[in-house]
Amino acid sequence: MTAIILDGKALSSKVLDELKTRVTRGVQPTLGIILVGEDSASELYVRLKKDACTKIGGEFVLKRLPASAGTRQVLAAIDAFNNDSSVDGILLQLPLPKGTDAAECLAAISPEKDVDGLNPINLARIFERKPGFVAATAKGIMALLHANGVELAGKRAVVIGRSPDVGIPIAGLLLAEDATVTIAHSKTANLAEVCRDADIIVSSVGKAGIVTPEMVKDGAVVVDVGTNFVESGGKRSVVGDVDPRVCEKASYVTPVPGGVGPMTIASLLENLVEAAQERAATA
């Protein structure tokens, strides 16, 4: 079997075109971005998010803080965006420098402006099956699975990774669509055995090649969230968590790059446009 590639780049481009039409006909959204420190990967992700925001006709305000800022300064920046009526949505780019409390900062983002969906109130809403902003990466993965007709109800899913930004929300969304979900993590005994029964594997670990063909049953759907920068022959490139040989066994695989990454950005902007429309409707 050769896996079908779940093309996140193509689908995200379609989503962004649709958002542009919505923005042209309706409200212009503004994204408030907080970037702390000078991590090169974070700089890249913020640039991609700014470009996509511009592409749909939205505006952004970028608040840069030094790596030494600390929790209090980040909280002050969040507070300023929370109280700025011209800002519809807030993106706090992760990871934050060591010593800055990410959980406290994410909890301080107003749930109505939490377009990345990482405030604990919005995370809980996934499990409560209540409306709210869904974490952008998890929302993007579901959109990619739905667009390709991947069936979820009654399927066995293994999510590798239990972070509040990826593993937990995607597990909640799969559960809400009636998959039987196992969450694996660094203390899981015999990960290969746990995965071998799965119809769907979502890997969000951040370790290149951790998902090997031996862990994947024939015909499984494999979603690769991992973003790992590797050096080879003096060249830096990005690879996922999934060993490329998995394509010989799986039915569907998301590529890295070009799979989950672009869908995360599209979903963030979908949330932003919704936030702007909600603001306009209640103004």
Enumerate the active-site residues: 49, 93, 116
Interface with ligand NAP, residue 152, by CB under 6 A: no
Residue 30 as a binder of ligand NAP (CB under 6 A): the answer is no
Exposed e or buried b per residue across 119-154, where buried means at least 16 C-beta atoms within 10 angstroms of its C-beta: bebbbebbeeeeebbbbbbbbbbbbbbebeebebee
Residue of 146, 186, 192, 245 interacting with ligand NAP (CB under 6 A)? 186
* Residue 196 in the binding site for ligand NAP (CB under 6 A): no
Closer residue to ligand NAP, CB minimum distance, 58 or 261: 261
Query: Which residues inside 98-137 make contact with ligand NAP, applying CB under 6 A?
Result: 137
Among the residue ranges 46-54, 64-72, 111-119, 187-195, the one whose residues contact ligand NAP (CB under 6 A): 187-195
Residue 150: C-alpha distances to residues 161, 174, 217, 244, 282 (Å):
21, 12, 16, 21, 37
CA–CA separation, 254 vs 246, rounded Å?
11
Q: Please check whether residue 32 is in contact with residue 84, taking contact to mean a CB–CB distance below 8 angstroms.
A: yes
Instruction: Pick from 32, 37, 132, 167 the residue near ligand NAP by CB under 6 A.
Output: 167
The distance of closest approach from Cβ of residue 26 to ligand NAP in the complex, given in angstroms and rounded to an integer, is 27
CB of 53 to ligand NAP, least distance (A): 16
Identify the residue among 159, 184, 239, 250 touching ligand NAP (CB under 6 A).
184
Is residue 75 within 8 Å of 109, Cβ to Cβ? Answer: no
Nearest approach, Cβ of residue 263 and ligand NAP (Å): 7
Mask for 220-239, x = binds ligand NAP (CB under 6 A): -----xxxx-----------
For residue 270, state whether it binds ligand NAP (rule: CB under 6 A).
no
The secondary structure of 22-86 as a DSSP string is: HHHHSPPPEEEEEEES--HHHHHHHHHHHHHHHHTT-EEEEEEE-TT-HHHHHHHHHHHHHT-TT
Residues of this chain that interact with ligand NAP (CB under 6 A) are: 137, 160-163, 165-167, 184-188, 191, 204-207, 225-228, 260-261, 264
